Amino acid sequence: MSLRVPHSRTDPLKSLLRMERFPHIWCPGCGIGVVVKCFVEAALQSGIPVEKHVVVSGIGCTSRAPGYIKVDGFHVIHGRAIPFAIGLKTARPDLEVTVIAGDGDLLAIGGNHFLHATRRNDDINVILVNNFIYGMTGGQYGPTTLEGALTTTSPYGFVEGAFNVPYLASALGANFVARWTPLHTKELTNTMLEMFKVDGFAIIEVVSPCLIYGELNNMPPLDMMKWLKDNTIIDHNADLSKIDVNFKKPLVLGNFVRRYRPSHQTRLKELVKKVVGGG
Amino acid sequence: MSERVSLLRAEEALLKPGVYFMQGNIAAAEAALVAGCRFFAGYPITPSNEIAEHMSRRLPQVGGYFIQFEDEIASVIAISGAAYAGVKSMTATSGPGFSLMQEGIGMAAMIEAPIVIINVQRGGPSTGLPTLVGQGDVMQAKWGSHGDYEIVAYLPSSVQEMFDLTIQAFNTAWTYRVPVIVLPDQRVGQMIEKLSVPDYNEIPIAGRIAPEEPPEEFLPFNSKYLVPPMAFAGEGYRFHVTSLTHDERGYPSTSHKISTQLVTRLIRKIRDNEKAIGRYESVLTDDANLVVVAYGITARSALKAVKEARKEGLKVGLFRPVTAWPFPYWGLKEAVDRGADIVVVEINMGQMVRVIREHFANIVNIHSMTWAPGDVPRPHDILVKIKEVYEG
Ligand SMILES: Cc1ncc(C[n+]2csc(CCOP(=O)(O)OP(=O)(O)O)c2C)c(N)n1
């Protein structure tokens, strides 16, 4: 299967896609491809030279995204996209570094890096695709699996509880926090554009249920999309403590948090200036 | 990196040529700055802390950055990221942290990121003896991560070598695009002794080999080279790098042909250059009937024992590997051809001795003097072993 996009829109997007790598590996109906498309669109519109955009990922279905995007890209080991991105950004502050990875990668095995990068306010962008599950390894439960859900490692129902990602990121001090779905392409693209401008830690959660998750939990792909379409509300001022993902209530989307704490990298630069200037 | 600042200030902020009385760990940190290191990432652990502490003070003075990360995993990954952004980078740790870094070291080998890791060995296993000496990470340095790959590891034996070999480690890392490990033991890391810093124009400094092709033709892992030229992020090459098995374009591949090509090259770039990279020192081995093999602090004790043995008329010499990996086996060949007995002394339960057996078993007698971590065998202890073998 090859990627077909309406002809009028092909060319500009193609310039930032690794066309020779298509067809991509994602299942038909998966939302990750949409995230790639929005990223490419945003990168082209950003006004930042394409050679300054860098994408970094860990391991997983979502983490395959950089492999299709024609900017400098690093597909590192599972859970370690954030520290790799911090190394790049600290060494070369003129790079616009974006991490694209899954919930398991960023919040389970990489959870400690997420925690501390947010606290330090490292100047990176994070696009976290929350598909409720470990997609790449075949549907095991993860840190965003919903209460009671069936997965290949919770055959009797999930009994742990899920992270509320925007609430978590906000509590940790992120400068920018948003949540969208792959059905909100315009908003997602615009939010990415805003994210590029943030000096500090910026995160967009993209809620995009995995098809395996749907299969195991009686939600065929079309029903899932219909649910996302009909049961989302946009509330930029939502009380984040109440916006956990739960199919029994509407999914709250929006650009929730904007803070202006100077980033870790800005402060490191100031520190060097202070030390060298004074000495 | 504040490019201008580093260019203007770096030279004058480096340690001046001259003679110093300095700790090994601090000498290594200063050497890293001389080699061009401008980013350090680490997590505190005894007995390596002086390196991080010194770097946190010194890096800003030369326009570089220091980050104390949440763990050693993040630290080793971050320096690979910084290296791919074109900045020479390093971390330092000890046993437990070195264990945590292993997956990241394998990644650096796979994506050919030039990084330097100083592992100041303490006693193990596990949390072991945080403040005391060990040499138990020699095998881990080479085999610690999964899969087949090659690294380079140096075994400094003095404060002078902490300085010299740390610079050499950067040069090797950047020449071969490989993770390089500096593997002192706690005693060598924390001892204070004389250090001579030569004129900087006498110290060769290696950098990357930059691509010559235009971006459209650039293959980040071009198999035409054993060591492919390296593009940095942000230069317009728009290349892809993956920790998966990859083809010359850097794209994932499951082809056996590609896997063979990649793994073979990763190994060959070191093995084919083993004589250029590997180093050793031989003392009094020319006529020796018995050669003691020892490294790090143990080599200093062994040298004393060898001299004592000579006084007593025993023809004994010392072979000191300066690189653990590649192991400089060719330096022992002459003694082996002469039929000399070999006694390997190390502060572990018999690690390096396995390599010597691999090369020379069934040719000469190879004896292992094991020594549990926590202390250094005294010259007298080694002399007893020498006599036992020599006369036995
Ligand atoms: C250290 C390590 N442990 C486990 C794995 C196996 N693994 C590969 S992807 C993955 C999880 C993927 O889930 P997620 O990050 O949520 O991404 P998704 O595939 O759902 O997009 C795991 C556990 C690995 N590659 N490395």
Strands in B316-321's sheet, in edge-to-edge order, are: B280-283, B316-321, B290-293, B341-345, B366-369
Q: How many CB atoms lie within 10 A of CB B190?
A: 21
Closest alpha carbon to A79 in B103, B68, B92: B103
H or E stretch covering B173: helix B159-176
| Residue B249 domain-assigned (yes or no) | no
Closest alpha carbon to B23 in B189, B182, B169: B189
What are the distances in angstroms from CA B323 to CA A251, B151, B267, B269?
A: 59, 11, 17, 16
Interface of A with B in 158-177 (CB under 8 A): none
Q: Is A13 on the interface with B (CB under 8 A)?
A: no
β A251-258/A176-180 pair status: antiparallel
Query: Can you spell out the DSSP letters for B368-380?
Result: EE---TTSPPPHH
**Counting every residue, how long is chain A?**
279
Q: Do B343 and B318 contact (CB within 8 A), yes or no?
A: no
Cβ burial of B244 (10 Å; 0-12, 13-18, 19+) is middle
| Tokens standing for residue A45 | 């519109």
Min Cα–Cα distance to chain A from B345, Å: 38
Q: Which residues line ligand 1 (CB under 6 A)?
A: A 59-62, 78, 102-105, 129, 131, 133-137, 142
Last residue of a domain, one of B202, B227, B255: B202
Q: Is B11 on the interface with A (CB under 8 A)?
A: no
| Tokens standing for residue B266 | 């990763």
β B192-197/B18-23 pair status: antiparallel
pLDDT of residue B4: 43
Query: Can you spell out the DSSP letters for chain A?
Result: ------HHHHHHHHTTB-GGG-S-SSPTT-SHHHHHHHHHHHHHHT-S-GGGEEEEE-SSSGGGGGGGBSSEEEE-STT-HHHHHHHHHHH-TTSEEEEEEEHIIIIIITHHHHHHHHHHT-S-EEEEEE-SSBTTTTSB--TT--TT--BTTBTT---S----HHHHHHHHT-SEEEEE-TT-HHHHHHHHHHHHH-SS-EEEEEE---HHHHHHTT--HHHHHHHHHHSEEE-TT--GGG----TTSPEEEEEEEE--PPPHHHHHHHHHHHHHHH-
* pLDDT over threshold 50, residue A222: yes
Chain A hits for B41, CB-CB cut-off 8 Å, are: 83, 87
pTM of the model: 0.97
| Residue B59 domain-assigned (yes or no) | yes
Which whole number is the average pLDDT over A29-50?
97
Strand partners, A232: A251
Pair B19, B154 in one domain: yes
Residues 6 or more apart from B246 whose CB is under 8 A from it?
A: B221, B252, B253, B258, B262
User: Would you state the torsion angle of the CA atoms of residues B251, B252, B256, B262, taken in this order, to the nearest 10 degrees?
Assistant: 60
pLDDT of residue B8: 44
A88·B243 Cβ contact <8 A:
no
Q: How far apart are CA B80 and CA A117, in angstroms?
A: 17
A54·B234 Cβ contact <8 A:
yes
Residue A4 pLDDT class (50, 70, 90 cuts):
low
Closest alpha carbon to A195 in A101, A264, A124, A135: A124
Pair B294, B172 in one domain: no
Closest alpha carbon to A48 in A26, A25, A31, A72: A72
How many A from CA of B18 to the centre of ligand 1?
52
Q: Do B215 and B236 contact (CB within 8 A), yes or no?
A: yes
User: Would you state the torsion angle of the CA atoms of residues B291, B297, B301, B306, taken in this order, to the nearest 10 degrees?
Assistant: 20
Q: How far apart are CA A5 and CA A219, in angstroms?
A: 27
Q: How far apart are CA A62 and CA A39, in angstroms?
A: 13
Pair B104, B197 in one domain: yes
Pair B286, B194 in one domain: no
Q: How many CB atoms lie within 10 A of CB A48?
A: 17
Distance, first Cα to last Cα, chain A? 62
pLDDT under 70: residue ranges of chain B:
1-11
Give the CATH number for residue B326: 3.40.50.920
In chain A, the residue whose alpha carbon lies closest to the alpha carbon of B108 is A76
Identify the three-state secondary structure at position B89. Answer: strand
Pair B192, B81 in one domain: yes
Q: How far apart are CA B341 and CA B339, in angstroms?
A: 7
pLDDT of residue A11: 72
| Residue B325 domain-assigned (yes or no) | yes
Q: How far apart are CA A140 and CA A130, in angstroms?
A: 14
| Residue B295 domain-assigned (yes or no) | yes
| Tokens standing for residue A3 | 């990627």
How remote is the C-alpha of A132 from its chain's centroid?
13
Q: How far apart are CA B210 and CA B229, in angstroms?
A: 5
pLDDT of residue B77: 99
Closest alpha carbon to B64 in B28, B33, B39, B30: B39
Pair B191, B311 in one domain: no
Residue A17 pLDDT class (50, 70, 90 cuts):
very high
Question: How many domains would you assign to chain B?
Answer: 2
Q: Do B194 and B23 contact (CB within 8 A), yes or no?
A: no
Q: How far apart are CA A166 and CA A203, in angstroms?
A: 8
| Residue B38 domain-assigned (yes or no) | yes
Give the nearest partner residue to B61 out of A73, A88, A279, using CB atoms.
A279
Q: Is A202 on the interface with B (CB under 8 A)?
A: no
pLDDT of residue B12: 74
Q: How far apart are CA B92 and CA B190, in angstroms?
A: 13
Pair B16, B125 in one domain: yes
Residues 6 or more apart from B14 whose CB is under 8 A from it?
A: B30, B33, B34, B62, B200
Q: Do A91 and A79 contact (CB within 8 A), yes or no?
A: no
In chain A, the residue whose alpha carbon lies closest to the alpha carbon of B104 is A77
C-alpha Rg value of chain A to the nearest Å: 18
Last residue of a domain, one of B202, B230, B262: B202
In chain A, the residue whose alpha carbon lies closest to the alpha carbon of B220 is A72
Min Cα–Cα distance to chain B from A229, Å: 35
User: Would you state the torsion angle of the CA atoms of residues A33, A36, A38, A44, taken in this order, to the nearest 10 degrees?
Assistant: -140
Q: Which domain holds residue B183?
A: 3-202
Strand partners, B318: B283, B292
pLDDT of residue A277: 80
pLDDT of residue B14: 94
Q: Is A18 on the interface with B (CB under 8 A)?
A: yes
For atom 25 of ligand 1, which residue has the closest CA?
A78
pLDDT of residue B2: 43
How many A from CA of A62 to the centre of ligand 1?
10
Give the CATH number for residue B81: 3.40.50.970
Last residue of a domain, one of B154, B183, B202: B202
Q: Do B353 and B344 contact (CB within 8 A), yes or no?
A: yes
As for the ipTM of the complex, it is 0.96
CB-side exposure of A185: number of CA atoms within 13 Å?
A: 11
- Amino acid letter, A88: L
Pair B141, B14 in one domain: yes
- Report domain A24-277's class: alpha beta
Pair B188, B302 in one domain: no
Average pLDDT for chain A: 95
